[in-house]
Chain A
Amino acid sequence: MIKLKRRALIYGYGNPGREDDGLGIEMVKMVQNWIDMHKLDCMTTDSNYQLNIEDAEKISEWDIVVFVDASKDEDLHEFICSKVESSDAKVEFTMHAVSPAYVLHLSQKLFNKSPETYVMGIKGYEWDFKEGLSDCAKLNLEQGFQYLTRKLAGWALIKKNLPISMLS
């Protein structure tokens, strides 16, 4: 029996029809398989094209939230995982790009809930109208997956089934 200390939501977003923009969606699929394999209660995933205002209500129901998206940042190698602070929220110049900080801010202000929130950006390279990740993006995805699942395992109280090496 796997007992979770806190409830975690892993939320990937992006357009899988635009090559590496689907990194967030792919990560969520891999994490869900991992969750199912280890029968981790109170941990789940979700995905969408982009973050929306109603996601504020969704994340308000969880203790830990990890957003996952592709990154175009030229200075980034592989991936980055950062804590999100609502103080970083600013009005986005298009509602098409509602940020994780913005969603957290809405959750706090509208629903009085402040889940511990992170955003993971995975480096992508190709963005054409095509399904499937580039080879380099796949490598970054795997690195990110290993890191994320170690973190998730660390948030859970593991009694069996997971190797010690997976704990942070």
Chain B
Amino acid sequence: MPKKITIEPVTRVEGHGKVTIKIDDEGNVRESRLHIVEFRGFERFVQGRPYWEAPVLVQRLCGICPVSHHLAAAKALDVIVGAGTGDGLTAVGDKMRRLMHFGQFFQSHVLHFFHLSSPDFLFGINSDPAIRNIIGVIEHHKDLAVQGVMMRKYGQEVIFHTAGKKIHGTGAIPGGINKNLSIAERDLLLNGADPMNADKMVEWSVAALAFFKAYHKNNTTLVDTFADFPSNHLSIVRKDGAMDIYNGVLRAVDANGKRILDDVDCQDYDKYIEEEVKNWSYMKFPYLKHIGKEKGWYRVGPLARLNVVDFIPTPLAQKEFEEFKAYTHGKPNNMSLHYHWARLIEVLYAAEEIRNLLKDPDLQNEDLVVKGEKTNKGVGVIEAPRGTLFHHYEINDNDQITLANLIVSTTNNNEPMNRAVNLTAKSFMNGQKEITEGMMNAVEVAIRAYDPCLSCATHALGQMPLEMKLVNANDEVIDTKSK
């Protein structure tokens, strides 16, 4: 009798998701789906609110990446208040926001590598789940765990000093920022006592990359063949082709590197990108309109960014980028586990940019805000840690939000994640008579590579426990597991 296996929720990603795997009588995987069980409703909630509240309101979306939403919303409102579409801020406004963004980028990627994905690299996908977790990492690789904690702390400190506070930061406002960086704050971040300084963060970022590359060298077949499938890739890039996670134009390439979206203005995103709704998930499926639903889906995030950009404008990360590109002979990299490699290159890039920005005296300037002629529509697009993030707002004459459309990073990766799950399930489970913990973890490894944020803004004590269900095609529970 055909069986349906459910993994709910997915371990070690942010938020709650459910994986359903349908197996036929021969034990072959027929279909796999990643369900998103959260219902957001945020886009309706903000309607009617004054537009200037958006950069703070949107931070309620997610406790993991509030800064990304804060900045994307601020960028959209820059357009509305007449401060331009990304290049119109003052030097201090632009650079403070960038510093905030790099702090967010750095700490988010660090958390993912050290505490979410490193257990799989250190112990192996099929290892005992009792040690294949961060507590196992602490027992066997304490120095790595300490580094992860301190690097996270550093990123959070950068955010604190640029956003103004930890919760509902107000650093970015329409047209600019509400504070600069004082000399004391700069010195704290740039030259703090070891390890809390910019140089140490660069040094540790280099070491983290070396760690992954050593793992890759010893596990090449697994890393290169795991959930390897062709796809399009999308990101924003600076107009000269450089990596720029804060501002740029929209570019996409296909699996062979051919440009399929050629540096379009982010304000026109809705001419090129549409979202499909499917009846089995609350999360939508974005795709490139001119290519169509079937073939127009794309990946975003670290792997996509490195496939789309021409170069990285910091020396150490650029050197790593060249090695990364050479591995696939200059063609796009379609190997899912190489997300981790790309992510660590971005950690290094972020660390270098934080150091550069901290040395820039523009951060102490006093001209914080720019205003111009108001319009009633604005789009802000940013590269969040997990991928391209779109915020689109429209307002009425009373300055109230009448329309809000958000395409969050993880939504962009919805189809790729589903493909990765399907490929992995077939690869590890086909023909097997017994479904093991290691097999189920393999499916989760595929999802974790994308660092999805399935988003939950509440975390009160007493949240639901993790439950795994094995059900047959009639949805009768065969087995359950709890974590």
* Contact surface of A with B, Cβ cutoff 8 Å: 13-18, 20-21, 25, 47-50, 52-54, 56-57, 69-73, 76, 89-91, 93-97, 105-106, 109-110, 119, 121, 124, 127, 129
Q: Which 9 pairs between the two chains have the least Cβ-Cβ distance?
A: A17-B60, A49-B63, A54-B153, A93-B466, A91-B133, A73-B462, A70-B460, A71-B461, A121-B461
B14 interface neighbour in A76, A94, A106, A129, Cβ under 8 Å: A94
Q: In whole angstroms, how far apart are the Cα atoms of A54 and B14 in the complex? A: 17
Q: In whole angstroms, how far apart are the Cα atoms of A59 and B139 in the complex? A: 20
Contact A21 B460 (CB under 8 A): yes
How many whole Å from A134's CB to the nearest CB in chain B?
13
A97 interface neighbour in B60, B149, B463, Cβ under 8 Å: B463
Central interface residue in B41, B146, B461, by most chain A CB within 10 Å: B461
Nearest residue, chain B, Cβ from A75: B462
Contact A14 B459 (CB under 8 A): yes
Q: In whole angstroms, how far apart are the Cα atoms of A121 and B460 in the complex? A: 8
How many whole Å from A44's CB to the nearest CB in chain B?
14
Contact B60 A89 (CB under 8 A): no
Central interface residue in B42, B167, B460, by most chain A CB within 10 Å: B460
Chain A residues, CB < 8 A from B42: 129
Contact B60 A18 (CB under 8 A): yes
Given the interface contacts A48-B166, A54-B150, does A94 sit within 8 Å of B9 by beta carbon? yes
Chain A residues, CB < 8 A from B134: 53, 91
Given the interface contacts A53-B148, A106-B149, does A93 sit within 8 Å of B11 by beta carbon? yes
A93 interface neighbour in B12, B148, B156, B167, Cβ under 8 Å: B12
Chain B residues, CB < 8 A from A15: 60, 63, 167, 457-459
Central interface residue in B11, B16, B167, by most chain A CB within 10 Å: B167
Which of chain B's residues 47-71 have a Cβ closer than 8 Å to chain A? 57, 59-60, 63-64, 66
Chain A residues, CB < 8 A from B150: 54, 57
How many whole Å from A126's CB to the nearest CB in chain B?
11
Residue contacts A-B, CB under 8 angstroms, 24 given: A14-B458, A16-B168, A18-B458, A21-B458, A49-B167, A50-B459, A53-B152, A54-B152, A57-B153, A72-B461, A76-B462, A89-B135, A91-B12, A91-B483, A94-B13, A94-B15, A95-B14, A95-B116, A97-B459, A109-B139, A109-B145, A110-B145, A110-B149, A129-B41
Q: B280 contacts the other chain (Cβ, under 8 Å)?
A: no
How many whole Å from B116's CB to the nearest CB in chain A?
6
B147-176 Cβ-contact flags toward A at 8 Å (1 or 0): 011101100100000000011100000000
Contact B45 A129 (CB under 8 A): yes
Nearest residue, chain A, Cβ from B154: A54
Which of chain B's residues 449-478 have a Cβ closer than 8 Å to chain A? 456-463, 465-466
Nearest residue, chain B, Cβ from A21: B458
How many whole Å from B129's CB to the nearest CB in chain A?
9
Contact B166 A17 (CB under 8 A): no
Central interface residue in A18, A89, A90, A91, by most chain B CB within 10 Å: A91
Contact B463 A95 (CB under 8 A): no
Contact A72 B167 (CB under 8 A): no
Chain B residues, CB < 8 A from A76: 462
Q: In whole angstroms, how far apart are the Cα atoms of A94 and B466 in the complex? A: 9
Contact A95 B149 (CB under 8 A): no
Given the interface contacts A94-B9, A94-B13, A95-B14, does A127 sit within 8 Å of B145 by beta carbon? no
Chain A residues, CB < 8 A from B11: 91, 93-94
Q: A53-B134, A70-B460 are in contact. List 8 more A-B contacts (CB 8 A).
A: A16-B167, A49-B167, A54-B153, A73-B461, A93-B12, A94-B11, A97-B459, A105-B135
B57 interface neighbour in A17, A56, A89, A96, Cβ under 8 Å: A17
How many whole Å from A86's CB to the nearest CB in chain B?
10
Contact A18 B462 (CB under 8 A): no
Chain A residues, CB < 8 A from B260: none
Q: B115 contacts the other chain (Cβ, under 8 Å)?
A: yes
Which of chain B's residues 61-96 have a Cβ closer than 8 Å to chain A? 63-64, 66
Q: In whole angstroms, how far apart are the Cα atoms of A69 and B461 in the complex? A: 7
A94 interface neighbour in B12, B148, B458, Cβ under 8 Å: B12
Nearest residue, chain B, Cβ from A47: B167
* Contact surface of B with A, Cβ cutoff 8 Å: 9, 11-16, 41-42, 45, 57, 59-60, 63-64, 66, 111, 115-116, 133-135, 138-139, 142, 145-146, 148-150, 152-153, 156, 166-168, 456-463, 465-466, 483
Chain A residues, CB < 8 A from B168: 16-17
Chain A residues, CB < 8 A from B45: 129
How many whole Å from B77's CB to the nearest CB in chain A?
18
Chain A residues, CB < 8 A from B463: 72, 97
Given the interface contacts A15-B457, A72-B460, does A95 sit within 8 Å of B111 by beta carbon? yes
Q: In whole angstroms, how far apart are the Cα atoms of A89 and B461 in the complex? A: 14
How many whole Å from B137's CB to the nearest CB in chain A?
10
How many whole Å from B422's CB to the nearest CB in chain A?
23
How many whole Å from A66's CB to the nearest CB in chain B?
14
Chain B residues, CB < 8 A from A56: 149
Chain A residues, CB < 8 A from B149: 53-54, 56-57, 106, 110
Q: In whole angstroms, how far apart are the Cα atoms of A64 and B235 in the complex? A: 47
Given the interface contacts A17-B59, A52-B156, A53-B152, does A96 sit within 8 Å of B116 by beta carbon? no
Nearest residue, chain A, Cβ from B130: A91
Contact B460 A69 (CB under 8 A): yes
Chain B residues, CB < 8 A from A70: 458, 460-461
A72 interface neighbour in B9, B145, B462, Cβ under 8 Å: B462
Nearest residue, chain A, Cβ from B466: A93
Chain A residues, CB < 8 A from B63: 15, 49-50, 96
Given the interface contacts A49-B167, A50-B63, A53-B115, does A127 sit within 8 Å of B152 by beta carbon? no
How many whole Å from B354's CB to the nearest CB in chain A?
16
Chain A residues, CB < 8 A from B139: 109
Contact B146 A71 (CB under 8 A): no
How many whole Å from B197's CB to the nearest CB in chain A?
15
Contact B115 A95 (CB under 8 A): yes
